[in-house]
Structure 1
Amino acid sequence: MNIALTFTVAPFGLEPLSAFVLSPVADADGLFALVGSGTTGTGVEDPRLFLLDAAVHLPSYAPELSDAQAASIGLDSAADAMLLVVANAGASGGGSGSGSGSGMTVNLLAPVVVNARTGVGAQFILDGQDLPLRAELVRG
């Protein structure tokens, strides 16, 4: 099921877009494609980001939003928040050689948070939280 989303501020690198569609990727539990509607300032038409549902893939990930961040998307309750992280395929695709890595990294410092009740979202930089921009996603 596709979900229409409106971002209060364009996700990083997708400026000036604010309209997106979040679509589940077939046969990949908790993986979504976020597709923009329009052209970015750098000329990319209908850009796409891949996002992972943190509840599925990173159940212990619990970043804290500021009151201002939550208010900017009309989020009154944590239960209404859909927490997503930007996923990037690694250059080698094979991890560090230990067999446990997926070759994929996720951005834990700047999650995408969606108010599931309203479809309003934003990508937030989490101030004062020691989280990496590129954390290796390890298969469980």
Structure 2
Amino acid sequence: MSIDLTFAIPPFGLSPAGTFTLTPVDGADGLFTLVGDDARLFLLDAAVHLPSYSPELTDEQAAGLGLTSAEDAMLLVVANPGGSDTTVNLLAPIIVNARTSVGAQVILEGQDLPLRAELARR
């Protein structure tokens, strides 16, 4: 089931669009596409693929998304498939408020996380 998401500022690499569509990829648990007017990103659900990943948002970032509880946040990371290796961006995750379908790509402050972390195969 696809979900239409609203971003105040489009994710890096996607041009401005009123709405973006988040769609699960059939047969790939926790893998999604995020599609705007003219581009697509692959996103991984961190809860499925990176269970120990637990970044901290600033109060301003959480407030901008209307988050009052961690349970309302869906944590997604941008996946960069390439040849035999896939990397994920852990420094700038996409956070979605599951109650409101509002999303934002945030840059985590003061956290030593890589832009290109190699994704371990399962």
| Interval of TM-score (by shorter of Structure 1 and Structure 2) | over 0.9
Corresponding residue to 1:83 among 75, 84, 88: 75
Q: In the alignment, is the contact (CA less than 8 A) between 1:9 and 1:18 conserved in 2?
A: no
> Following TM superposition, by how much is the alpha carbon of 1:18 offset from its aligned partner in structure 2, in angstroms?
4.2
Structure 2 unaligned regions, length at least 5: none
The code of the aligned residue for 2:30 comes to G
Mapping of residues 27-106 of structure 1, within 5 Å: 27-36=27-36, 38=37, 45=38, 47-90=39-82, 93-94=83-84, 103-106=85-88
- Once superposed, what is the RMSD of the aligned Cα atoms? 0.9
Cα deviation 1:9-39 (Å, max 9, x = unaligned): 1111223234101000010000000011x3x
Asked whether the equivalents of residues 14 and 40 of structure 2 are also in contact (C-alpha less than 8 Å), the reply is: no
1:109 is aligned to 2:101: no
In the TM superposition, structure 1's runs of 4+ consecutive aligned residues that sit over 6 Å from their partners are none
Residue aligning to 1:42: none
Residue 126 (str. 1) matches residue 118 (str. 2): no
Whole-Å separation in 2 of the counterparts to 1:9 and 1:123: 8
**Residues 1:11 and 2:11 aligned together:** yes
Give % identity. 71
Q: Is the Cα contact below 8 Å between 1:8 and 1:73 reproduced in 2?
A: no
State the TM-score, normalizing by the size of structure 1. Answer: 0.84
Q: In 1, are the aligned partners of 2:88 and 2:117 still within 8 Å (CA)?
A: yes
Compute the TM-score of the two structures, normalised by the length of structure 2. Answer: 0.96
Q: CA deviation at 1:79?
A: 0.3
Query: Which protein is richer in strand relative to its size?
Result: 2
- How many residues in Structure 1 have an aligned counterpart in Structure 2? 122
Shift of 1:128: 0.5
